[in-house]
Structure formats: structure tokens, C-alpha cells
Amino acid sequence: MPSAAAVDAVKRLASRAAGRTEADLQADVYLLLTTGDLALDSAQVARLEVQTGDGTRRRLDVEIGHAVIEVKRDLRTSGIRNDAEKQLAGYVATRSQLLGTRYVGILTDGAEWHLYHLAKGQFEHVAQLELSTSDPDVERLLVWLEAILATQELVKPTPMEIRRRLGAESPAHQLDHATLQDLYRRARHIPEVELKRELWAKLLRTAFGKGFKDYEELFVNHTLLVLISEIIAHAVVGFDISRTGSLTPVSLAQGSAFTSAKVHGAVEADFFDWVLHADGGPDFVSDLAHRIARFDWKHVEHDVLKTLYESVISQDERRSLGEYYTPDWLAEKMVEESIPTPLEQKVLDPSCGSGTFLFHAIRRYLTEAESIGRSPGAQVAGVVEHVYGMDVHPVSVTLARVTYLLAIGNERLSAPDRGPISVPVYLGDSLQWEQRRDLFGGTEDISIATSGDDLVETGQGTLIGDDLNFPRRVLQDAGDFDRLVDAMANRAVVESSKSSTDLIRPVLRQFGIHEDDIPMLTATFATMRRLHQDKRNHIWGYYVRNLIRPLWLSQREHRVDVLIGNPPWLRYSSMTSGMQSRYKALARERGLLTGALGASSRDLATLFVARSVELYLNDTGSFSFVMPHGTLSRKPADGFRSGRWGANLSVRFGPSWDLQKTPTGFPMVSCVVHGSVTSGKPVHMPTEVQVWSSRIRTPNITWSTIRDKMSISTGTIHQLSSQIRPAESPYKSRFRNGAILYPRVLLFVDEEPTSPLGSSTGRRMVRSRRSVKAQWFAVEPLRGPVEQAFIREVLLGESILPFRTLSPLKAVLPVTDSAVLDADQIEGNPDLSEWWSTVEETWERHKAKNDVSPFLRRIDYHGQLSSQLPSARHRVVYSKSGNRLAAARIDQPSAIVENALYWAAVSGIREARYLTAILNSEMVLERVKPLQALGLFGGRHFDKNVFSVNIMPFDENNLKHQELVDLAGEAEDAAGALDISMARDFKVARGLVRRELTDSGLNAKIEAVVAEVVPPVTLEEA
């Protein structure tokens, strides 16, 4: 807790009270620093009025450690702030040169706090904090200052403290990122640095397709994350990472201390040690380690790295890449259920992320091993032979390796009987997208291309052009192979006049290499030496070891007993063109593209599971994976659910876990599927599921915490397929989706007052409505006259309430009452022609790159606009999506229906009322829900799922149909008479209408009749 003196000082600082002098502010800043519990050491004494040391009489307001704080009375005046920044820049430059280390500047008026640093001689603003003048957050300011000064020690590394002190919002992270970005810009043209970024980008394109964008800030962020994680890895096992410790920056970034301790694969030379090549890079690593050393890493929680990643990489960034971490309770329970005999079962998570499943699998193994009396060293030796992880994301792999060490624990790692180990978490492409048919070129050798052939991305390109060949015999022991490749890579950088044969022979002899294999390995070593001479070598040892790992695991003698994890949920539309082609080929071969649906409705998860089972699971193995909920029921997953994955692979599915009623933190509803390999007939995924229900609000808790709050019951899933589907209503073919009238700024308008002279007969002045979409927000609104005939009323999804419509919007559309105009016809109307020409030009400038359609064709996509012309006198519309369906009848033939609605022409008012009574009913909604794709808030879209309920055609002679017509008429009257003027939006207005119909008893009457008129959903053979 801040001291009373510090609280009072901050209140005075933030108040901007009249009459306060800069000297008063300096005094309060000094008081804050000395009484604010910042744990200042002898090198961080706060001092006032310090001479700059440049021979002038200038003085620093406040200096503390390697920071200067410049104080001004009020920074809200731009001139004062600009002058202060120039003054502060001079101070920082002078002190940086004098001290020979990173020096930062802070500018404040007590309420505003700004952080600056020097980059390439330029004074850059890095971070800022603003305090309330009436109620300043004292603790927030102290945390902000401490993150910069790094003064406190033995900080417990809880998720909250990691976010506050190392997360993206902390000034420490912002300063580190800015410094590292400056280092990268100085080093990016070094050949080895270029190569490491190229390989980093290649792997992430493989993982994330078009969702991955290769840009500098992400590479810098990933580098910072990996460096922090690698430094943490040293700290958690007991190495002294402070400046007084013996570890060098090179050791911290490349893991030589681990290698000396015979712990391989924990920290190693990778894509991100490029920082060592930058001038000032080693000092940066040293400073970073010093700041991380203030945490008490002996008491670290295993999910701290997950927290670190999520606090540095933005949620939008993670969502675009499909990155979502499994909550602890779910991973823990899946491990418990899937690994009944941990000492006997080998386990692989082929998409391990930060290592959540690995942590629980390791702990399960170690607990069992300890219970039967195995020594700590034997426990460690056993677990690394039984629990494996793999991921194509280089940052995730680093985090997972540290998580692996955390799961083992320092006591076991430092046990006297612990022998050499390799942390079995590998950077590899589990799908083997780019597996070459000749990878196992003969019976004895394996060939790894160092060329940039990127099948997944472009199918072309070259990085190096040489192959690295290895005899198959050297792959028998994974740890020995890793150490052999390391030794070869390290020897390749030795400057020597000796031949490659003479240099490498002692290494090969040390590893007991068979005489028949020496020529191939000598040739590979010679290639590594040539790569080194081109300054593109060091990464290849790392790259080769990891690239081979999926191939090693897929050899029959190395396959595992259990696959578990959370595969990538990557939509087909987000894949690169190369990935899409490969996806279709792989999915089709395995029976995953069944029925009339194309690949566009699929995602990667089902192929990932099928391919992982095919490559890594033994003939009696089992699997458990977290999947999108649609895997249980939607048509695109029909082939997956069949259990027949190609000609040679069959699986037996067990009951799935339906997680739609419990929060998981995922962006969509999920499930868990279970199965095992079978040599007999495949067993289709059961329709009976376990429904998991909980009201927890924070998903990332332990199973022991949630166990008593979780209810598990039996439920049934409606599985849709090309062969089995609901009996459909005849109305399905009559309803169509409305027109895609987007972006609104180019179409929707408001009428403007005319000039005193008017706008002449048949013309109206209009101005386009501002768009709220980011892509179109900055587009300048269109304004001008348009012939009145082309200003049409449009009904949107938000225009429809139950049994009632709101006022439509207006849009400029090149249509008549009977057709959409073509380009020549548009030119025949001068005002429309000028308006539409501007629309088309604006569209071409701002549209997405992959959208090649002219705008006129786009708004009539699939005839969704022209099919409404001419319009029937009576139509029924209903909402496309939402939690509750809303339907109404419309009798405005000139109105256009937009894409958020479905519409159909009907014979008259009576048929329209019959349909709206049914479509607005709770009964139909409940019967449609099991057939909908689910989102976090329930069914995502109604679309034509509505007609999976067999709504029979209206029959004028059917008494129940007549009763519905009369009730719908009463509902229209009640909805129309309701005052909804105070409703803030259409959702609230819909709720008001429904409440009125419920309170009046009309809803209950309608529901009772609908229950008699509409039959239950039935599934039938197609």
C-alpha cells in the first residue's frame, strides 16, 4: 500500500492547483519517489537539481537511476510541451553519452506523465499515463514508475503482476519494444538476421495462412516474448540472471548454461537471437534480464507464460491468427480422462501452444512415478520419453519448453541422479504440409531442403538451394540426433584451414557414427560450412533438428499411444491459395469433403485431427481434441464424424463432450471429441453427448475449483449430413435472402433541404449516411441531386420487430419497379449517372483486394436485388440472425429488402399473418436451435434453418390456420399501438413488443396453436 505521504503528494501533483510552482512539483515528485515504496537501491537515489555534466549550468529537475524527470506546471499548452520535449531531449542525449548506457526521460506536470527514449539519435515518445485530477490512482502511477525504474525485488509473478509490469500496457514493455525495434532496424540487413526473419515468416504462414501478416512490429514483439521467456527459463531453474550473475547475454539467448547442465532443447540458438548481432543488442539482453530478475521465479505459476503472451499480443491479433488457449480446468480433465496409465502411455500434443496440456500430462506422469517410489532423476528421464509437444509457432514452442521445465520443477532437475535430457517440445509442421514425397529418398537417408520451396504459400522461391542429408540410422535416438546436429552446427562456424573431413571426423567418432554413414554426414557438414561462409549458417542446426521431428515421430516405431490437444481453428477462407489447394487434396483423400458443400465451408481442425491420427498415433492409440462445436452436428463435418478417413484409416468414436453451456474463453462454442484407432469397421460419432454445464465466469481455473460447480448430463445432438437431413417445409424454396447493400456509405442517404431555388421537379438533394465500419469510416460522404425515382426505401434487419416494421432507410439504387439498370441505362439519367460514377470510383479505391466484382454486380449478387423486382403486394420478412427470430408482413411493393432479412411473396394478408404467427413463436425457435451453428450467445444464424421445422402450406379451410391468422392480426394491432419511442435501439424495441404480447396473453395463445399446427423436427434419409 502507498504511504500516506505518497498519496498526498500524488493528489497535489495531479490537482493542477493554481499558484503551484515548478519547485513545488519537483518537491512532490521527490517525495513520491522516496516514500512511495519503490524499493530504491543505492544506485537509484532520487536527486534534485543535478548538473547535466556537459559543462553548462543546466540542471536536471529530478534524476533517479538512469532516468531524468522534467517537471512543468501545465503540459496542456502545446508550446510548453514542445519546448519541454526539446529541453528533455538534450538532457537525455547528454546523459546517455556520458553514462554510456540506456537513459530515459520522463516529462510531467503531475497529471500527465510521458516517457521518452533516444532511437537512432531521434527523441521518441514511448508511453504515457494520465491521472484524474480529482481522484488520482496512486498505485497505478507507482506501478507505472516502478516498471520503468525496475526497483522492487522478489515480486511474485502472478498473472496480474505480469500484466502490470511486463504486459503491453506497461511502460517497461513499451520502452523495451521501442528499444528492440530500433536495434532491429539497425541489424535487419545482416544476412543472418534476414534469414531468421524469412524462416520465421515461412513457419507462421504455414500455421496461419492469410491471417498472418509479415510485419516488423510482430517480429519484434515475438523476439521480445521469446527473450523474456528464455530468461525466465534460466531463472526458474535457479540460475542467477541478474547483472551480478555469471551468465552472459549470449548464454541467456542461446542456452549454453542449459547445455552445460546436460539439459538440451530448453533454450537454444533460434530465430530470435538475431539481437546478438545488433550493435547494443547484448546490452539490451543484459538489461532485460536485470529487470526480470526482480521477480521471485521460485514461486511461479505455470500459466504465467500464457498470461505474458496474451498481454503482449493483442486480442485482435490473436483472433486473426486463430490463437486461443485452452482453459486449465478443461486441459486437466481431458488429461485425466485420456491418460489412465501415464507410466505406460506415450503422449503427444501436436499443436501444443504454450504447453497447457503438456503441463498437466507431465504432472500426471510425475505424480504416478513418485507414488511407486521412482527417484527424482528416474522420474525426469521417464517423463521426457513419454510426453511430447509440437507446434509450428516458434514463440509458442519457446513458451511450451519453459512450461515443460516448470512442470518438472527445479528439485527434480537438480537431483543428483538426473542424467542428460532433451526437452521434447519441437518446432515442427504437424500436418507436414510440405512433406516431400522423396523425403525418405532411399531406404537409408533423409533429405532436408534448405531451399525456400514453400508449397503452402507460393510453390516457389529459394533461400539457399542446398540439401542437408542424414542417414536414417542417426534418427533412432532423438536426443542423440539433436546433440549430433548441434555439434555439427557448432563445428561448422569454426574458422579453420582443415578440410571438412578432418574437422568433423572427431565429432562423428564421438557419436559412434557407423562407417557407412560418415561420407553422407561429411558432405552435409561441408554444406553447413558453405552456409556459414555466406553468413547464413547458424540457424540451420536449430531448423533441421526441429523440421525432422515430425518425421521422426511419424515413423511407426516412434508413434504415441495418446494424442491430445486443441488443433488450429483456421477457416478455409483464411488460408493462402497454396494452403487451400493442399487442404483440398489432403481432405478429399481422407473423405472429409463429402456432399455438395465445397471446401469454403470447412476449417482446418478436422483435417488436422485426421492427419495427426494418421501420422503419429499407433494402431491401438486414442485421441481427445477440443474442437469447434459444429464438428458435432454441421454438414461440413459429416465426413469427419463417419470415422472413415481414407482407404486405410478407421476410428471408433466415443461420446463427445458438449461445452455450449459452460464458458471456455474461446470465441465460439466448443466441444471435445474422443476416439481411438480401430482395425475393424469405423464407428460413427454418437449423437448422444455429455452436456457440461457451469455458471463460472472465469474459465481459466483448475478442475478442483470447478468440479463442484460443473453439472454433467446426457443430451442428444442433431447431426446434419448430405444423407440425413430434417424433413423440410415447402416454404423453404419460396424464401430468399435480401440484397447485399454494403458499404452503406455508398448507398444509404438522407434527404437534405433544397436551395431557395429548389432542385427541380423529380429530383432530390441527398447526402450519404456515415459508415461505422473502419474500412469505410473515413470515406467522404457523397452529396448531390438524384432523380427521385432512384431513391428507394430499404428494410434492414433492424427495421423488423415482431408483427411490426420500423421506418425504412433510404438508398440510391439504380433500379426501376421491374429491373436493375445496366450501365447504359444508368447513363441515360444524368443525376444518377454522376452519382453512380462517384460510387464506382470510391468502391474501386477502398474495396478489399480480393473483391473483383464491379459494384453494380456486387449489389445484385446471385440476383438478390433483381429477384425483388417487381415486388409482390404482400410479403413476409424475418431476421437472418440473432437470439430471437423476428418476423413481420410488409405491404410496400416499392421497398427493397436488405441482406440481413429473408423474404417471400405470399398470396395475401391472411397467409402473411399465418406465417408471421409461426415464425415469431418460441416453439419454432426452440425446434430450430438444435439445428443451428452455435455462437457464444446461442444460435448464430437462422437463415433457412427455420424451415427444418416443417411449416405446412397455409390452408384457408384449416380451422387452426384460421385461428393463427386472427391471433396474428391481434398481435399486429397490439405491436402497432405500443409506444416504443424511448427504446434506444431495435433490440430494446423488440423486447418491448414481446413483453407486451406476453403480458396481454397473446403469446400464450399463439404458442398453443403453433404447437398443434407445426410437427416436431424429424430426420430422414436424403
User: What local confidence, expressed as pLDDT, does residue 465 receive?
Assistant: 43
| Secondary structure string (H, E, C) spanning 378-442 | HHHHHHCCCEEEEECCHHHHHHHHHHHHHHHCHHHHCCCCCCCEECCEEECCCCCCCCCCCCCCC
User: What local confidence, expressed as pLDDT, does residue 363 receive?
Assistant: 95
User: What local confidence, expressed as pLDDT, does residue 462 receive?
Assistant: 32
User: What local confidence, expressed as pLDDT, does residue 322 receive?
Assistant: 58
Closest to 913 measured CA to CA, from 893, 937, 933, 887: 887
- 610 grid coordinates: 485426421
- Number of alpha carbons in the 13 Å side-chain half-sphere of residue 955: 8
3-state secondary structure of 714: strand
Going from the first residue of the chain to its last (1022 residues), give the mean pLDDT of each consecutive group of 10, the final group possibly shorter.
84 88 89 79 70 74 85 86 89 80 87 88 88 89 84 78 82 88 91 85 72 82 92 90 86 91 87 90 90 83 77 69 78 96 97 93 96 96 96 88 91 92 88 53 58 40 56 78 81 83 90 90 86 63 72 85 92 78 88 66 88 94 94 88 92 95 83 95 94 85 88 86 68 93 90 62 84 66 91 94 94 93 91 93 80 84 92 93 88 92 95 96 78 50 77 93 96 95 91 95 94 73 44
CA max distance for the chain = 104
User: What local confidence, expressed as pLDDT, does residue 600 receive?
Assistant: 56
In a 10 Å sphere around its CB, with 0-12 CB exposed, 13-18 middle and 19+ buried, how is residue 443 labelled? exposed
CA distance 814 to 812: 7
- 830 grid coordinates: 444524368
CA distance 159 to 156: 9
User: What local confidence, expressed as pLDDT, does residue 722 receive?
Assistant: 59
**Percent helix, strand and coil across the chain, each to the nearest 5:** 45, 20, 35
User: What local confidence, expressed as pLDDT, does residue 461 receive?
Assistant: 32
CB 683 within 8 A of CB 704: no
3-state secondary structure of 590: coil
**319: Cβ–Cβ under 8 A, 6 or more apart, which residues?**
667
In a 10 Å sphere around its CB, with 0-12 CB exposed, 13-18 middle and 19+ buried, how is residue 660 labelled? buried
Dihedral over alpha carbons 662, 666, 671, 676 (to 10 degrees): -130
Domain ranges of the chain: 4-152, 179-427, 445-560, 567-722, 734-1019
What's the CATH architecture for 4-152?
Alpha-Beta Complex (3.90)
